[in-house]
Amino acid sequence: MSLLVSTTSDPGRFRSFGPHHIDELGARYGLSADNVRAIRTISRVLPFRVNEYVLSHLIDWDRIPDDPIFRLVFPQRGMLAAADERLLGDLLGAGDRTGLRVEVARIRAGLNPHPSGQQQHNVPHLDGHELPGMQHKYRETVLYFPQQGQTCHAYCTYCFRWAQFVGDADLRFAAPGPEQLVTYLHRHPAVTDVLVTGGDPMIMSTERLRSHVEPLLRVDTVRTVRFGTKAVAYWPYRFVSDSDADDLLRLFAQVVAAGRNVAVMAHFSHPRELATEIATRAIARIRSTGAVVYCQAPLIRYVNDDPHAWSDMWRAELALGAVPYYMFVERDTGPRDYFQVPLTRAADIFRTAYQDLPGLARTVRGPVMSATPGKVLVDGVERTPHGEFFQLRLIQARDRRLVGRPFRARWSADAAWLSDLQIDPAAPADILAAVSPSAARPGAAVTA
Ligand code: SF4
């Protein structure tokens, strides 16, 4: 398959803006003093990064602070507890660096930096040693976090991997190289998929990415290489006009030519991210290599808690030849209290958007909680003479015997996560043991 030729003019070099540029951005876009204060305070705890493309092409500055893309990348008042925000503001005002360090660490520790027991339950072992920068939760798939891919072209305010970006080595997944992964894969032939993720692996140069990917092709049992990325949304030039964009596409084509699938797991939060000419071209170029683009995002208050946003997004994805794949529920980490959408509303938004789709876009699944026992789908709300219930189903699980079997939980107006739910005690015992909030342990990690 030939690559599409890039004709888009070079937008210049990638330039990002972080906590050191808050005053510059405030002046450039006329942000209120309160906005600037909130951004400065909250970015002490949670990561903040934006780039010129997001600023110039995605944010509608006539609509701030309510613009969904502004909400997607700029920290906002309310993301931390009010008392913590006040305290941090006071410490910043007093220039108390030691106090700030202590309080920032305390607040981060209270934000559940590694949800769903990732650091305890999903770490693979080789010859009795833990493997850094890898996660193995489901039998077929290993997640691989290359050390050099642990940033993104911009940071999402709701990021569930925020702990990767705050400069604390204890909170970080990072693999120095693929050697141990390759050994592990040889010993675990049931693993068919490797998800190269981060951060965003597309932040790496193609040469670097190639050094992580090519060794995987030596493992016959690996059939699909997935790349988790938001680069099409945040920096589509990565696939079009960056100096090594053509080389990146050649790498995808090389993996395909080796008889493997390339799945670009693209994160789109809002239809506006798909509406630019450069994003459209990026998807066309990726697809020209034989790679398949699967689209996924969490449902986030203030950003996309609107069925029209989702149906427009899924239609746009389908029109571009991409596959709508998942609507996730915001995970129980970071500023989750601020961004969460109750499950009953999430199910409603999903159903309303889904009803609006042509059949080919109904590949999408959701809302889905990626929880400790597995991926729990909220299939809808059931009204019975005995009360209302959420219909639930595990569509992926550590224990494969649980997959595909329905169960239910008492309906609740406020529940926003699995742990908030009262599971129907009539559920099968194995499901009950796995998904009940009281379930002490998720069971063993997968074994070969
Ligand atoms: S792109 Fe993904 S990893 Fe990066 S900040 Fe957004 S949610 Fe987090």
CA–centroid distance, residue 199 to ligand 1 (Å): 6
What's the gap in Å between 438 CA and the centre of ligand 1?
A: 30
pLDDT at position 120, please?
66
Q: Whose CA is nearest to atom 7 of ligand 1?
A: 159
Q: Is 135 helix (H, G, I), strand (E, B) or coil?
A: strand
Residue 197 CA: nearest ligand 1 atom is 3
Atom of ligand 1 nearest to the CA of 158: 7
Q: How far is the CA of 161 from the centre of ligand 1 (A)?
A: 7
Mean pLDDT of 384-401: 95
Distance 265 CA to ligand 1 centre (A): 12
Residue 63 lies in a domain: yes
Mean pLDDT of 74-101: 95
What range defines the domain where residue 105 resides?
16-109
Ligand 1 pocket mutation pick from 79, 161, 333 by most atoms within 8 angstroms of CB: 161
Rounded to the nearest angstrom, the distance between the alpha carbon of 72 and the centre of ligand 1 is: 10
The pLDDT value recorded for residue 438 is 59
Residue closest via CA to ligand 1's atom 6 equals: 156
Mean pLDDT of the 195-215 span: 97
Average pLDDT of the segment spanning 63-69: 95
Of the candidates 165, 176, 162, which has an alpha carbon nearest to the alpha carbon of residue 131? Answer: 176
Coil, strand or helix: which one is 445?
A: coil
Whether 91 is covered by a domain: the verdict is yes
The interaxial angle of helices 82-94 and 33-42, nearest 10 deg, is 90
Residue 162 CA: nearest ligand 1 atom is 8
Calculate how far, in angstroms, residue 27's C-alpha sits from the geometric centre of ligand 1: 26
Token couple for 221 = 């049992």
- Domain for residue 105, yes or no? yes
pLDDT at 94 over 80: yes
Among the ranges given (221-230, 305-314, 379-388), the one the predictor scored with the smallest mean pLDDT: 379-388
State the pLDDT at residue 7. 39
- Ligand 1 centre to CA of 25 (Å) is 21
**What ligand 1 atom has the least distance to the C-alpha of 49?**
5
**In angstroms, what is the span from residue 384 Cα to ligand 1's centroid?**
40
Average pLDDT of the residues in 325-342: 94
If one counts the domains in the chain, the total is 1
From the alpha carbon of 152, which atom of ligand 1 is closest? 4
Indicate if the pLDDT at residue 186 is higher than 70. Answer: yes
Q: What one-character DSSP code corresponds to residue 167? A: S
Query: What's residue 9's pLDDT?
Result: 42
- Going from the Cα of 306 to the center of ligand 1, the distance in angstroms, rounded, reads 21
Whether 27 is covered by a domain: the verdict is: yes
Average pLDDT, the chain: 92
Question: Which residue's CA is the closest to the ligand 1 atom numbered 3?
Answer: 199
The fraction of the chain above a pLDDT of 70, given in percent, is: 92
Mean pLDDT to the nearest integer, 413-433 = 94
Indicate which atom in ligand 1 lies nearest the CA of residue 228.
2
Predicted confidence band of residue 440 (pLDDT cuts 50, 70, 90): very low
Cβ contact 369:378 at 8 Å: yes
In this structure, the residue with its CA closest to atom 1 of ligand 1 is 230
| Ranges 51-65, 80-94, 164-178, 354-368: which has the least confidence | 164-178
Residue 144 has pLDDT above 50, yes or no: yes
Residue 410 pLDDT grade (very low, low, confident, very high; cuts 50, 70, 90): very high
| Residue 115: per-residue pLDDT | 77
d(CA 388, ligand 1 centre) in Å: 35
In order, the DSSP letters of 197-208 are: -SS-GGGS-HHH
Give the closest residue (by CA) to ligand 1 atom 5.
155
- Mean pLDDT computed over 203-212: 97
Which atom of ligand 1 is found nearest the CA of 198?
Answer: 3
Tell which wins on pLDDT, 443 or 57: 57
Express each pLDDT in 259-301 by its tens digit: 999 999 999 999 999 999 999 999 999 999 999 999 999 999 9
Q: Alpha-carbon distance 156 to 299, whole Å?
A: 13
Q: Coil, helix or strand for 71?
A: helix
For ligand 1, which residues put their CB under 6 angstroms from it?
Answer: 152, 155-156, 159, 161, 198-200, 230, 267
Structure-token match 């780039």, residue found: 51
Buried b (16+ CB within 10 A) or exposed e, 194-232: bbbbbbbbbbbebebbbebbeebbebeebebbbbbbbbb
Confidence bin at 310 (pLDDT 50/70/90): very high
Quote the pLDDT of residue 171.
Answer: 59
Rounded-to-integer distance, Cα 386 and Cα 388, Å: 7
Atom of ligand 1 nearest to the CA of 154: 5
Amino acid at 67: D
The predicted model gives 198-215 an average pLDDT of: 97
Ligand 1 atom showing the smallest separation from residue 230 Cα: 1
103, 144 contact by CB (below 8 A): no
Give the span between the Cα atoms of 375 and 366, in whole angstroms: 10
Flag whether pLDDT at 22 surpasses 70.
yes
Q: Is residue 256 part of a domain?
A: no
Ligand 1: which of 203, 265, 267 to mutate, most ligand atoms within 8 Å of CB? 267
Residue 324 has phi, psi (to 5 degrees) of -65, 130
- Look at residue 303 and tell me if it is in a domain: no
For ligand 1, the distance from its centroid to the CA atom of residue 422, given in whole angstroms, is: 31
Say how many Å lie between the CA of residue 47 and the centre of ligand 1: 10
Residue 159 C-alpha to ligand 1 middle, in angstroms?
Answer: 5
SS3 call for 216: helix
Ligand 1, atom 8, lies closest to the CA of 159
Res. 3: pLDDT tops 60: no
Is 102 among the domain residues?
yes
- Is 97 part of a structural domain of the chain? yes
The pLDDT, as a whole number, for residue 164 is: 83
